[in-house]
Structure 1
Amino acid sequence: MKNGALGAVVASWFLAGAAIAANPLQGELELKAAGKAERNAGLWLDGQYVGFVEDLEGRGKLVLLPGEHELVFKLIGYDDLTRTIRVEPGSRNEYRVAMLPVADASYPDKNETAQLRLSVKPEKAAIFVDDSYVGHVDRFDGRGGMRLAAGTYRLTIALPGYEAFTTELTVHSGQSYEVKTDLRKGRLDERAAALIAGGTAAADY
C-alpha cells in the first residue's frame, strides 16, 4: 500500500545519512538524472509535488517510509514517466531518471511569442499555466524565461507549505513580461492543492 507523500518524505530534504542513523527502519532514495533535460523534471511522490530532480539530486537523498511508493516525473516536451518502487527498512536505493521526448511535438515560432520571466521565491515552486504544469520557477528565472503564444493565461505558482500565487495576464507577441513575488508561508487553497496533487504537464509551452 502506498504511503502519503507528506508522511513519506521524512525530514523533508534533510541529509539522508543523519535521518537513517536516527531511524534504521526508514529507507533512502537517491535520484540521478540521465541527462541535462531530466534535471528540470518535476517529481510527484505518491501524488504530491515535492520538487524538481536537480534540487533533490543536489541536496541529498529522499528518506522514505518502508513500502511501495509511486514516482511520477513531468517535464515539458517529454512523456510523463511513472514508476512504482519498493523501499525496504534501512535500504539505499538509486533511481536513474530517463525520459522520452513527446513524439511529433510542435511549438510556436519564437517571433510569434512573448517572453515571460519569473522572479519568485522559493525557486522550487511549481508553475501552472491554465492549470497545466509547465515546470519550476528556477527553470524560467533566467534570461530566456518562458515563451508563450499571444493570448490571455492564468498563471499559478504553488508549493506545499505556502500560499499559492495566482494571476491572469495577457501577453502580446514580441513583448517581454516579468512576474515578481515571494510566496508566503501558509496553506494552499483548494484549487492549487488539486493542481499540486495531480498537475498534468502541457506540451506547448
Structure 2
Amino acid sequence: MTDDRVDGRTLRYRHRRPELLAAATEYVLDHGIDGVSLRPVATALGVSHATLLRHFKSKDELLLCVGDKIRGDFVRSWQQDEQFSTASSSAELVRMVWTRLCEPREQRQFILLFQLVGRAARRPADAQALAPSIVDDWLTPIEERLCADGWPADEARTLATLVLGHIRGLQLDLLLTGDRARVDAAFDAAIAMMHSPHGS
C-alpha cells in the first residue's frame, strides 16, 4: 500500500478539476500563501497528493489558477447578478462592486492579492505570469462598461486603470485601519470622474 490511498473524495475530484480548484481556492483564501505547499493543501481537501499533482504541477501553478478563478468568479457575479444589472452608469456599477468587495468574505481576496504581489514583485517571471489575472482581466469589464457609457476606448482604458488602482489601494487602507467612513468618502471622490465622458 502507498500513502496515496484512494478514498471517496479522491475519486470525486479525480476528473473534476473545477471542483478541486474551487476547494483549493477557499483553502488559500482562508489560510493565505505563507507556507502553502501542495501536500498540506491536498490533506486539507481530503485528497491524495498525487490527485492534486495530476491537476496542478506545482504550487505556483495552483496559485496562478486560484488568482484566475477569483477574478473569473467575481467578474461573472457582476455580469450575472440582478443587483448589478440595475446599475444605470459605470459609476453606479463600480459603487455596487465596491460595496460587495467590502464584505469580509470578499476582502479575503485582497489579503491574498497583496501577498501574491509582494511575492511576485521580486521575481520578474512570476510578475509577468500574474499580471493577466490580477490586472488585465480586471480592467476589461470596467473598460467595456465605460465604453458603453460613451467613453472613447483609449480614455476608458486609462480611467479603468485609475479606478482599479483606487479600489485596491483603498482596500489596503481599509484592511489596515478599518476606517470605513473615511475610505468610503475617498472612494466616492475617486469615482466622481466616471460620471460623464469629456466632462459633459
TM over 0.5, shorter chain? no
Structure 2 length normalisation: TM-score? 0.28
| TM-score normalised per structure 1 | 0.28
Query: Which has a greater percent of strand?
Result: 1
